[in-house]
Amino acid sequence: MIHVYAFAEELDELPESAGLDGAPLERRSVDGVTAVFSRRAAPSSQESLRDDALAHGAVVDALMERATAVLPVRFGEVVADEAALDASVEARVATFRRAFEDVRDCVELALRVWAAAAPEAETPVTGADYLGARAAEESQRRAAVDSLDRDVSSLARAVSLRGGTAAPGELLGAAYLVPRRRLDDARRVVQAFADAHEGLTVVFTGPWPPFSFVEEPA
């Protein structure tokens, strides 16, 4: 079977590193869409899952340096053979081209903001004070986080908000597709926000391959 890492546009050369199970990386192009893959005898076992997923990510990372646009494939996608791979690319060449257009020269940045563990001001005396303080706290935080999201979004080509599975106390969980040349601007914006809001926990990571900005893989 064939394990697919990513589809790339104008890939100049394959990374030197090996793929999963030490198999060499291979490439195949159909109409300007280059699939990067390696061969495997069997899917990952429960024990090797974590290491394999990291190795998959490392290959995608290496490709990011070598192509104008990379569409990472979610870990675990396999096809039977080269013919099946070609067929799946051929069927969606136009989709791939559009997707390359969308992510070209961009990286993904991940931003998460959490409320402080125990936001305690002075002890309120009355019930109305207590509820009032809680309401003020909530709306202040919301306003701050919304403005941060707006500022980073203004530098981004696309935004992907993670809904539903927020961790406890999480106020914002988002991925931004940002042109490489704006990476420093984005970092400055978030750093300034973090400095101005000591009560909040801010974690901003990247650059990542645009995992949150590709549609369902092959």
Partner 1 sequence: MTERHQAFDRLLVASGDVETVARRLDARADRAPRRVTADPEKVEQGLAQLVLTLIELLRQLMERQALRRMDTGTLSDEQVERLGLTFMRLSERMDELKETFGLRDEDLNLDLGPLGSLL
Binding residues for partner 1 (CB under 8 A): 54, 58, 61, 109, 112, 114, 116-118, 124, 126-132, 134-135, 138, 164-169, 186-187, 190-191, 194-195, 197-208
CA separation for the pair 63, 67 (Å, rounded)? 6
| Closest distance to partner 1 from the beta carbon of 86 (Å) | 33
Assign 171 to helix, strand or coil: strand
Residue placing its CB nearer to partner 1 in the complex, 7 or 209: 209
Residue placing its CB nearer to partner 1 in the complex, 41 or 123: 123
| Closest distance to partner 1 from the beta carbon of 207 (Å) | 7
Q: Is residue 25 within 8 Å of 81, Cβ to Cβ?
A: no
Residue placing its CB nearer to partner 1 in the complex, 103 or 189: 189
| Closest distance to partner 1 from the beta carbon of 72 (Å) | 15
Residue placing its CB nearer to partner 1 in the complex, 82 or 185: 185
CA separation for the pair 159, 76 (Å, rounded)? 25
| Closest distance to partner 1 from the beta carbon of 54 (Å) | 6
Q: How far is CA 101 from CA 105, 126, 213, in A?
A: 9, 58, 12
| Closest distance to partner 1 from the beta carbon of 108 (Å) | 11
SS (H, E, C) 149-166: HHHHHHHCCEEEECCCCC
| Strand ranges (E), 61-216 | 69-72, 78-79, 106-114, 158-161, 170-179, 201-208
Residue placing its CB nearer to partner 1 in the complex, 179 or 207: 207
